[in-house]
């Protein structure tokens, strides 16, 4: 730099190029395995019946976990009998525990703290799930009347996840879930009501409902906009070509559910875990925050 000459400061990027608060929150709630210490491969128990190649106790490192926390069979997990690994999603819990709670230290660095890390991971996971749902509700124009309450609950829950490990373990997760769910339910009513106005009445929509038993049900092509499918059992159901805009999917079991050609782009409270568990294809439309699973058909 030439002495005595002040260069102009770089102009900030245009507002259109800056990530929104919603985008920043979303990124923090998406799994970043490179910033984690392989916690899901150690802290969690594996069972053959749960889609893993062998049984493993919680706290025992998976035999496929390498020293750099990578997976030596990652490209062929399903072929090797580990579909459960391809379905699991921590919603950003792993990197939060590794980088924030324990300041970048891993269970390998501090063997004396490994049990504390693992149990903290288990407690924080449901808190991150709540953050995902709150962030989804905050992005819905229909839920704008609840913006202040949703924002306060998001900030409150996020603060809980940023405490020390001992303080995280002291959190009453059940009580926090109940408080958050009251507002999430209100937001769901607003979003679903708007979607229902556009729905074509159908017999399939009347079959759906909270906790509905729809195992193997044939709902192909159904207009399910604004339907409440909280906790519905949709294992191996046929949802090909269905429209699920505004449908509440909290806790819906989508294991092996056929969503080929379905429109899930506007589905409410839809998670990466649910997408990973389902069977879709290149025509399936997903929310921007959810990645297309690599094992889906082209």
Mean pLDDT of 117-146: 97
Chain mean pLDDT for the chain: 93
Distance, in Å, from the CA atom of 225 to the CA atom of 242, rounded to the nearest integer, reads 9
Give, rounded to a whole angstrom, the gap between the first and last alpha carbons of the chain.
53
Distance, in Å, from the CA atom of 105 to the CA atom of 101, rounded to the nearest integer, reads 9
Q: How many CB atoms lie within 10 A of CB 143?
A: 23
Q: Apex CA 275: angle with CA 82 and CA 94, to 5°?
A: 65
DSSP letter (8 states) at residue 133: H
Q: Which domains does the chain have, with CATH numbers?
A: 22-44+88-195 (no CATH), 201-298 (2.160.20.80)
pLDDT in tens, 15-37: 557 889 999 999 999 999 999 99
pTM: 0.91
Distance, in Å, from the CA atom of 119 to the CA atom of 205, rounded to the nearest integer, reads 41
Task: Report the percent of the chain where pLDDT is more than 90.
Answer: 87
Q: Is the pLDDT of residue 96 over 60?
A: yes
Mean pLDDT of 57-85: 95
What pLDDT is stored for residue 209 in this prediction?
A: 82
């Amino acid at each position: 730099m030439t002495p005595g000459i002040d260069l102009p400061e770089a102009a900030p990027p245009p507002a259109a190029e800056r990530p929104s608060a919603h985008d920043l929150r979303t990124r923090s709630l998406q799994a970043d395995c490179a910033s984690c210490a392989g916690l899901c491969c150690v802290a969690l128990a594996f069972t053959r019946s749960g889609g893993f190649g062998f049984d493993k106790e919680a706290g025992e490192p998976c035999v496929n976990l390498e020293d750099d926390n990578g997976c030596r069979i990652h490209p062929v997990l399903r072929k090797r009998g580990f579909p459960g690994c391809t379905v699991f999603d921590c919603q950003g819990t792993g990197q939060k525990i590794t980088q924030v709670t324990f300041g970048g230290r891993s269970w390998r660095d501090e063997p004396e703290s490994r049990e504390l890390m693992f149990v903290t991971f288990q407690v924080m996971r449901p808190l991150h799930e709540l953050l995902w749902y709150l962030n989804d509700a905050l992005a819905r124009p229909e839920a704008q009347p609840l913006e202040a309450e949703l924002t306060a609950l998001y900030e409150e829950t996020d603060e809980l996840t940023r405490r020390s490990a001992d303080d995280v373990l002291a959190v009453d997760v059940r009580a926090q879930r109940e408080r958050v769910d009251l507002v999430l339910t209100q937001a769901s009513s607003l979003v679903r009501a708007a979607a229902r106005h556009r729905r074509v009445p159908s017999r399939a929509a009347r079959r759906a409902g909270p906790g509905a038993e729809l195992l193997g049900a044939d709902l192909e092509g159904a207009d399910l906009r604004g339907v409440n499918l909280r906790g519905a059992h949709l294992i191996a159901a046929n949802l090909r070509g269905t429209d699920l805009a505004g449908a509440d999917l909290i806790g819906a079991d989508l294991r092996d559910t056929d969503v080929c050609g379905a429109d899930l782009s506007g589905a409410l409270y839809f998670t990466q875990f649910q997408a990973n568990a389902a069977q879709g294809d290149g025509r399936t439309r997903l929310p921007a925050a959810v990645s297309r699973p690599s094992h889906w058909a082209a």
